[in-house]
Amino acid sequence: MLPEILDAQAGWMIGHRSAECKRLVWDIMPKLRQVFRTEGRVFFQASSGTGLLEAAVRNCVDKKALHCINGAFSQRWYEISQANGKACDSIEVPWGEAIKPEMVSEKLASGEYDTVAFTHNETSTGVTSPIKALAEAVRQGANGDEIVIMVDSVSGMAGARLETDDWDVDVVVSASQKAFALPAGLAFCSVSERAMKRAAGVPNRGYYFDFLELDRYFVKYQTPSTPAISLLFALDQQLDVILAEGYDQRMARHLAMRDRTISWAKSQGFSLFAEAGYESPTLTCVSNDPGIDVAGLNQYLKELGMTLSNGYGSQLKEKTFRIAHMGQLQMADLEALFAAIEGYMAGA
Ligand SMILES: *Cc1c(COP(=O)(O)O)cnc(C)c1O
């Protein structure tokens, strides 16, 4: 995170119905649309990503949802649908693998689903699923034109390519604290015409996250309830940073960091947890084949002002560890991290 972006949060408060606030939202909207690669709506709300993942389900699932599960976060989204009383099924592949178009086509052939949920970038396993091909498979299948495609891109958007309009995906959810390199507390989501139309016919969408209510205010550059104004100051500036780098350049930087992380990990005797060909541009999940003490490594790194993430949950802790290469991290940051890990492994 850039220090000037953290500092941007310290601006004096403005009233949420003031002209300045309207101006702020007016400034943010086109930039957010550019990052989301859409000319349609992008809402934001004060919550973590989970808030808008729940909103997607509340607003879009009418008949039945199909959740595609390949890790902890996609599993959790399925549980969110269940917790909201929505009819839903799942297809599941082993953790570490990507969801494939054929599996989805096969499951959708029954014609019973009106909503499909994909996780773009599974943060628990470092796997990116092929959203473009998956969306194509949905559109070509039974009532493909009516299906609302929901995508969790909480750890993908702004780091791993997702062409919202070109790939014809309906709801894309993200959050401030991952690849956007912002403090936690803001969630974003793009919502297509198809999804808005669906929402209009879905009862009990709730209040705080109702897409229709959000839309009624966003068209006036306002929000239904008080926005997280400090975070909006930071968002406004960070979007400038992201767009100044350039979309293609930002994607390329992430891919270069990923490729370097993969080759470094292999050079040190590690293998990758992610299925080959689906390795995430924003984080690499490394299999801990040599059996190093990951918690000890992290303690060591902390003293050097660095960190990595242990494997996700009881299943993957100590068996894997995850190296983030998202946000404003640069190749030099990674090189410093690799040197430190090598130092630790050499017993320094
Ligand atoms: C972090 C993350 C979430 C949860 O987001 P919160 O902002 O913590 O609610 C959901 N899905 C994915 C893929 C994530 O990486």
Distance 190 CA to ligand 1 centre (A): 16
pLDDT digits (tens, 9 = 90+) for 112-145: 999 999 999 999 999 999 999 999 999 999 899 9
**What is the 8-class DSSP label of residue 275?**
P
Closest CA to 281 of 123, 132, 131, 175: 123
Mutation pick for ligand 1 pocket among 79, 121, 123, 124 (CB with most ligand atoms within 8 Å): 123
pLDDT, position 348: 62
**Bridge-partner residues for 128, per DSSP?**
121
Question: Could you tell me which residues come within 8 angstroms of residue 79 by beta carbon, excluding any fewer than 6 positions away?
Answer: none
Distance of alpha carbon 11 from alpha carbon 4, whole angstroms: 12
pLDDT digits (tens, 9 = 90+) for 26-57: 999 999 999 999 999 999 999 999 999 999 99
Distance 178 CA to ligand 1 centre (A): 8
**3-state per-residue secondary structure call for 144-198:** CCCCEEEEECCCCCCCCCCCCCCCCCCEEEEECCCCCCCCCCEEEEEECHHHHHH
Residue with CA nearest ligand 1 atom 6: 49
Q: Show me where the domains of the chain are located.
A: 3-245, 247-347
Distance of alpha carbon 98 from alpha carbon 108, whole angstroms: 18
For every residue of 203-248, DSSP letters joined together read S---STT-HHHHHHHHTTT--SS---HHHHHHHHHHHHHHHHH-HH
Distance of alpha carbon 199 from alpha carbon 215, whole angstroms: 11
List the chain residues with pLDDT less than 50. Answer: none
Phi, psi torsion values for 121, nearest 5 degrees = -130, 105
Contact 129, 102 (CB under 8 A): no
Domain covering 247-347, topology:
Aspartate Aminotransferase, domain 1 (3.90.1150)
State pTM to two decimals.
Answer: 0.98
Class of domain 3-245: alpha beta
Which residues lie with the beta carbon below 6 Å from any ligand 1 atom?
A: 48-50, 73, 119, 121, 123, 152, 154-155, 175, 178
Please state, as a whole number, how many other Cβ atoms lie within 10 Å of the Cβ of residue 1.
15
pLDDT, position 216: 98
pLDDT, position 142: 87
**Pairing of β 320-324 and β 283-287:** antiparallel
